[in-house]
Amino acid sequence: MTAITIAFLAVVLTASEFAYSQLWQDIYVTEARIGIADLKKKQNEILGILTALRSGFEDHQQKQNDILSEMQKKLDYIENNLQGAVNNIQDSLQDECSEGSHNCTDYEACTDKFVHFTCTCLSGFARDGSRCEDVDECAQGKDECSPLATCRNSVGSYSCSCNPPFEGDGRTCEFPCRSPAKVLEGLGCVKFVQESKTFEEMNATCHQAGGRLLQNFSYEHLQEVVRAFGIGGIWIGVHEGKWLESGLPLQEELWTEGSRESDPSRRNGLCGGIDRVPSSLYKVSQRKCSERWWGYCQFVTPQK
C-alpha cells in the first residue's frame, strides 16, 4: 500500500469518525430536546394540579369561613336572646292555677300544664263555644232522681225531693209504712182503712194516699193479710172477676164457692172483697160495688 493510499484511508477514517460523532451528538441533542419538552409538559401538568388544589383549598377555606361566620351569628343570637329564653322557661314553670294568675271562670277548673294551663268545665256545665253553660239535668233526663220524686235544676247541679207521701233522699223514695200499716212479704206495705165506703170511694181513698186497693196476690198472701189484721168484709182490687191493675182473671182458688162463676157475664157490676167462709177461712166473694165496706190499701214502690 502506498503512502498516498494510506493517507487517503486515514482521511476517510477521520471523516467517518467525525460524522459518526456528529450523528451521536445530534441524537443526544434531539433526545435532550425531547426530554426537556416532556419535562415542561409534566411541569405544566403539575402546575395545573397545584393550581386546582390551591383553588379547591381556597374554596374550602371560604366555605369554612362561611360556616364559622354562620355559627358565630347563631352564637351571637343565642347570647343576645338567652335572657329572654330563660324568662320564657321561668314563665312556663309557673303554676298559674295556684298563683291565681289564670283567666278561668268560676264555672271552670284550672289545670296547670308544663307550658301554660287549661280551663275545663266543672261538673254540671258544658262548653258552648268559649263559655261553660249550665246543664239542665232535669230537662235532659240526666238526673238520678227517683220516679217518685221531683227534679229541680240549679246552677251546676240539681236536687231531688220525694213526692208526698213518699219519703227518702230523692234518689230513693219509699212509702213510709208506719203503724197501723204493716209490711207483708210479697205485698209491700198494706194499710187497713177502717172506714165504710163504696168500692169506688175506697179505691179513690187508696189512690189519694199514694197507693191502690190490695190486688195481685196469691191464696197464701190472702191468709197472711187476714192473720195480720184479723178482719173480714174488706174491699180489694177486684172488679167483675179481674184484678184492677193487670186486668187478669182472679185465680179460682181465691173465690168463695158461691162466687166461682164460670160465666163472666154473671160478674158484671160486682166487686171483690175478702170475707169469711163457713170453713173459717177467708176468700174473695163478690158484692155489689155500691155496698159499704172497709178496705185494704196497698203501697208498692215502683221501680225505675
pLDDT(21) > 50:
yes
| Mean pLDDT, rounded, of the chain | 81
Q: Indicate the burial class of 42 (C-beta count within 10 angstroms; 0-12, 13-18, 19 or more).
A: exposed
pLDDT of residue 124: 92
Q: What is the pLDDT of residue 202?
A: 96
Angle at 218 between CA 214 and CA 219, to 5 degrees: 110
In this structure, the number of other CB atoms found within 10 A of the CB of residue 289 comes to 19
What is the 3-state secondary structure of 1-21? CCHHHHHHHHHHHHHHHHHHH
- What pLDDT sits at residue 265? 56
Best CA proximity match to 215, nearest among 193, 186, 195, 194 = 186
> Which stretch of DSSP H or E encloses residue 257?
none
**pLDDT for 304:** 46
More confident residue, 78 or 264: 78
State the pTM of this model: 0.51
pLDDT at 59: 73
Distances (CA, A) of 146 to 30, 140, 142, 167: 126, 15, 12, 11
Q: What is the pLDDT of residues 136-176, one digit of tens each?
A: 999 999 999 999 899 999 999 999 999 988 889 999 988 88
* pLDDT tens digits, one per residue of 52-103: 777 766 777 777 787 877 777 777 777 777 666 556 665 656 788 888 788 8
